Amino acid sequence: MSSPGATRDDLLPIGDVAARSGLAPSAIRFYEAEGLIRAERTQSGRRAFPRHVLRRLAFISSAQRVGLSLKEIADALATLPPDRAPTKAQWAKLSRGWRGQLDDKIAELERLRDDLTTCIGCGCLSLQTCRLFNPDDEAAAKGAGPRYLLGDDRDEVARHQV
């Protein structure tokens, strides 16, 4: 049940994978249970991971750090071969597929940074332009969450209230 071309020397015990990836063994077991990575079993029944799993774990950690869900990560990893390291072309294809989503996430983070800096700096002296001020919960019609910080237009919300 070895990966093609893998030898026992290419397999790492979970402790080594944890040390190399910076993840807790429990997280590694969770990712395995979710199907994001695969382990083999030694004769004694212990988990042993092919070295290429380290790349997948780095990808998972990085994607989670920028706020992507496990479902999004799993969907992306499902496009890669599970039993070997992906090629450069396969990684590039995955990256191209995420570019728009990551650009949207970057824009959202920049908007949050800029709006919160302005809000904290002004001490909410300008309630007409404050992205957090939402009198009478008027933005609720646009959906859940901080609607103005997410990019909804205050004037458009006000027009729909009339």
Residue ranges of domains in the chain: 1-86, 99-162
> What letter represents residue 53's amino acid?
V
Instruction: Identify the architecture of domain 1-86 in CATH.
Output: Orthogonal Bundle (1.10)
What's the whole-number mean pLDDT along residues 120-141? 58
Q: Please state the rounded mean pLDDT for residues 120-132.
A: 54
pLDDT score for 1: 43
Q: pLDDT value at position 13?
A: 96
Model confidence at 5, in pLDDT bands (50, 70, 90)? very low
Relative to beta strand 11-13, strand 40-41 is: unpaired
Q: For 27-82, what is each residue's pLDDT tens digit?
A: 999 999 999 999 999 889 899 999 999 999 999 998 898 888 999 999 988 888 88
Residue in this structure with the two tokens 């901080």, named with its chain if needed = 146
Question: What Cα–Cα distance (Å) separates residue 74 from each residue in 4, 68, 98, 158?
Answer: 22, 10, 13, 40
